[in-house]
Amino acid sequence: MIIDIHGHYTTEPAAMHQFRDKQLAGLADPARKPGGLPQFSDEELIASVQPQLAFQRERGTDLTIFSPRASGMGHHVGTEAIGKTWTRLSNDLIHRICTLLPDNFVGVGQLPQVPGVSPAHCFEEMDRCVEELGFVGFNLNPDPSGGYWTDPPMTDRHWYPIYEKLCALDVPAMIHVTGSCNPNFHATGAHYINGDTTVFMQLIQGDLFKDFPDLKLVIPHGGGAVPYHWGRYRGIAQDMNKPLLTEHLLKNVFFDTCVYHQPGIDLLSKVIPVENVLFASEMVGAVKSRDPETGEYFDDTKRYVDALSGLDDAARAAIFEGNARRVYPRLDTLLTGRGHPAPAL
């Protein structure tokens, strides 16, 4: 089985965007608030994910871990009440897609985060997503301010309640910012990569996993700048008298393959241990076009992993399936219950 751990619902019905626009417009003029939640038929939802289903067939992948549109989470806009309504609606749509197409999608939830507000306010939605909707993880935004980084570093005790909840629910979190309202940072080209790289450096500086040895965090987009500057981070950690990164972080931190060229995937595989790499494409997401040099889609990352040299069958199976089932234990339980045993690694 080939599991893509990083997919977003970027083809949602237009009525979702219209509802959101009315939500935010209602902040300035209550008369412009939406009259109620948008309604969608099963047929409309199935039609909306035909692009993802077509890519799964064409690219030879089996299952996508599916979450709401990352740039649409919008933690930096609106009120906490608005955010909770929007989050619940977004997660409910993911649940419906996963219920309609259970062989293609498994859910991951967004959180109703608000700048400056304790992450403990997310607990109700976290419990609902895991215990009622069957989700296997969450996207956790390290910068709810949308590019201004007003909250404490992720090693600060401000974040401890959510780590305790993640461990109690036995689910990982993917570190994923939302849109940028800071004009200095393009959302997908800069802000996303900044978020990945910044959090990794914060984790080096702290000792988070001494307090949470069972916590699992996924840093997407190939780890941002991390693999390219691995020597720098090893050296900084050494200068700080931290343990080797393999001991300090890599029992708890994992990277995905959302890197859109072969040299990038080659570097990732050389620098990061195979047990810390999870297959992902982020389709349909940050880059939707074809590479003029190859004629293939930039985000067809399976092609890059297939082309890696030096991987034996066990290593390839780990990247495509085994690591995902280890990092997402509720996914493993789900698949085992469906008659899909985990590969021997």
Closest CA to 222 of 247, 244, 253: 253
Closest CA to 122 of 83, 70, 67, 79: 83
> What stretches of the chain show up as alpha helix (H) in DSSP?
14-28, 42-48, 50-59, 80-100, 123-127, 160-169, 192-205, 208-211, 230-239, 245-248, 262-271, 301-306, 313-317, 323-327, 329-337
Catalytic residue among 12, 125, 282, 321: 282
Give strand pairing partners of 139.
174
Count CB neighbours of 294 within 10 A: 12
Cβ neighbourhood burial of 58 (10 Å; 0-12, 13-18, 19+): exposed
Give strand pairing partners of 38.
none
CA dist 338 and 154 (Å) reads: 36
Say if CB 227 and CB 255 are below 8 A apart: yes
Q: Is 132 a catalytic residue?
A: no
Say if CB 133 and CB 124 are below 8 A apart: no
Residues noted as catalytic: 282
